[in-house]
A = this chain, B = another copy of it.
Amino acid sequence: MKNNAILLLSAPDQKGIVHAVTDFLLKNDGNVVDIDQHVDLDNQLFFMRVEWELSGFRIPHDKIGEYFQTLVGNKFQIQSTLYFTQKRPRLAIFVSKYSHCLHDILSRYQSGEWDVEIPFIISNHQKLSSIIENYNIPFHHIPVTKDTKAIQERKQLELLESNNIDFVVLARYMQILSDDFVSQFPNKVINIHHSSLPAFVGANPYKAAFDRGVKFMGATAHYVTADLDEGPIIAQDITPITHRDNISDMKRKGRDIEKIVLAKAIWSHINHNVIVHGNKTVVFE
């Protein structure tokens, strides 16, 4: 298992940031294994992801953040987050009745494709409990109605906190989280929703897309913000549709693209490849 540190940072663009960051690492014997950056010239913003080996690095783990901010960050007004590859991200999954994304996530988890821990899964229904049990993951049935939503969200938040959850995946969880909930996990709740070109909203988007005769079904994985389905996009993909596809075909094809796009977004998140700025993302590869 790798023993690396990863620093994600954003700052107003200015001369010398890359040099200052690499200088900080070089002077302290940090061996850089990956570095990537991006400049948004239109908005004069600088983004960077740098990963280096901790073995031989002179600054103790628990001091790296402080030293970096003091020696480099403050000078360039850098906002940074530090991760360690030996800290496996702890993921809580929320589901309702659809199983395709859940199955896909759990099969990747079981095969070792993803280096995460899944302490528990929450659902507002019992329907998928037997699938979850087969994977030996604790299951919490927390039904939600309009009246019980506030109290049930408190239960959910307690579970997240007591289990030190790092991020949440809404794997076709058909409930809207309250602003209060979302604000406690900024850029840490990932949602997947289907969409098409052009986009349709409303009660029955598949029917609307069918009636319009769209040639694509799409899926968008994004961080949840107070503005439903409008948070920063992490991953998107599409699948072609023809007039021969009825609504049932569109849903079936939609499921495939949903699960693949959600997995792609989770991969980017757990590898600390995503920097959010405003309502958009930089997704390093």
Contact = CB atoms under 8 A, between A and B. Distances in A.
Contacts of A210: 42
**Most chain B Cβ neighbours within 10 Å, of A42, A212, A282:** A212
A232 B242 CA distance: 13
Contact of A199 (B18, B35, B104, B197): B197
A283 B252 contact: no
A72 to B, nearest CB: 13
A134 to B, nearest CB: 4
B100 A243 contact: no
User: Could you say which interface size class chain A belongs to?
Assistant: 35 or more
A140 to B, nearest CB: 20
Interface in A55-78: none
Contacts of A220: 197-198
A237 B237 CA distance: 12
A282 B243 contact: yes
Nearest to A267: B252
Closest 8 CB pairs of A and B: A213-B280, A103-B107, A19-B22, A134-B134, A215-B236, A198-B199, A243-B282, A244-B285
